[in-house]
Amino acid sequence: MFVVAVVFLIGLIFVAQQIMFQYTFLDISEPMRLSDSHIIRSLTNDINRTIKTTFECNGTDDSFERYLEELDSVLKREETGRIYVMYVSKSLNCDFWDNQPPAENPLNLSVRITGLGKDTTGQFKFYHR
């Protein structure tokens, strides 16, 4: 009986320890999700990856122009209720779609995030190739 009681107590202590670990878990990714520079970096990385892998600039359902329209709607839907406000201004010129640096780029993007006493602005140029 003594062995059964010891095994039960050890199991009880283990369960209590696991429950306590769940409440004391430190989430170090939370500040990065709220960081304005992380948001801008994530947005520009997504746009850069998409412009490099998209074949057409406009005219098809799978075009980059369609992606930018979808991005606008997602940003408007996601930004409500957040602790920051994001302004995205873009200029897409499909005539320069196949240009390479230092020639004229097809997409100019201006991003501004305000909130939490910060005001971060960035100007970005993207090329298809």
Binned at pLDDT 50, 70 and 90, residue 25 comes out as: low
- Is residue 54 classed as helix, strand or coil in its secondary structure? coil
pTM of the model: 0.66
| Inter-residue contact 92 to 68 (CB < 8 Å) | yes
pLDDT tens digit sequence for 80-111: 556 777 888 889 998 988 888 888 999 999 98
Binned at pLDDT 50, 70 and 90, residue 117 comes out as: confident
pLDDT at residue 123 tops 90: yes
DSSP H helical segments within 28-94, as ranges?
30-34, 36-53, 64-78
* Closest to 44 measured CA to CA, from 121, 126, 105: 126
CA distance 28 to 9: 33
Cβ neighbours of 54 (radius 10 Å): 17
Cβ neighbours of 63 (radius 10 Å): 16
pLDDT tens digit sequence for 30-66: 665 667 778 888 888 888 888 888 888 887 777 888 8
